[in-house]
Amino acid sequence: MKPTCHIADAVIGDGPADSPVESTLSALGAALKARDAGTHAHSQRLTSYALALGRLLGLPRTELLTLERGVFLHDIGKTYVSEGILRKSGPLSRTEWVEMRLHSAIGYGIASSIPGLRAAAPIVLAHHEWYDGTGYPRGLKGSDIPLGARICSVVDTVDALTSVRPYRFPLSMVKACDQVWSESGTHFDPLVVDAFLAIPPAEWEQLQSSITRRLRLPQPEQVLSVRGRSSRRACTAFRRTF
Ligand SMILES: [Fe+2]
């Protein structure tokens, strides 16, 4: 049977689609998709973005493979976050944030318990650390944060800014690039920011469109044009799609 979720076309991979590690990745991806399809699509986009950056930074194949797996699984811990929090459209309360922030440590526990995914677990744990040490869960700083997590942090933010959300319009890739540049050295590793900005915004947009087509999701402009006719109806349609 064809896997529900296979990341091979992103992608590096080190064996056949039915190898134990690929099968486990497919199963975890399917679990995330069942729990929150929006997060699953986000993980697919991030995997492609991160690999583009990893290649530009000259990572060897084994590190690219670890990067691919870590970024694909970065939010797997959200399968344990309550649905009310995951689907909440407004700001989270203090208590809800405490639960949400547990997802990186929970994801680490999941990835590190699977032999073929252990190398990727530190990326999952550290993907919300900030370069200046003000992130979570451990407040790691600079190069103490695994490079894969520093890459994940940049592409995670870019995708959040440029994706359609039920409660706001997406930023253009150009504006997302400005935002990334403005947070270089605080939120993000300047080395990773430089690599990200070395790729023109139009190329990032092309990659974004190709992944959206592959996942058979509506392009942002399709969602926004429907929203223009009836924002309430469009938001409902969007929620069903994701
Ligand atoms: Fe996350």
> All domains of the chain, ordered by start, with CATH?
8-241 (1.10.3210.10)
> How far, in Å, is the centroid of ligand 1 from the Cα of 159?
12
> How far, in Å, is the centroid of ligand 1 from the Cα of 228?
30
End-to-end CA separation in angstroms for the chain: 24
> How far, in Å, is the centroid of ligand 1 from the Cα of 37?
14
pLDDT above 90: residue 126? yes
- The reply to whether the predicted model has a pTM over 0.75 is yes
Confidence category of residue 33, pLDDT binned at 50, 70, 90: confident
> How far, in Å, is the centroid of ligand 1 from the Cα of 101?
8
Average pLDDT over residues 16-38: 78
Q: Please report which helix (H) or strand (E) contains residue 166, including its range.
A: none
Average pLDDT over residues 209-213: 85
- Look at 241 and 189; give whichever has higher pLDDT: 189
> How far, in Å, is the centroid of ligand 1 from the Cα of 40?
12
pLDDT, position 149: 98
CA-to-CA separations, 216 to 20, 41, 46, 177, 207, in angstroms, rounded: 27, 10, 16, 26, 14
DSSP class of residue 138 equals S
Confidence category of residue 146, pLDDT binned at 50, 70, 90: very high
pLDDT above 60: residue 225? no
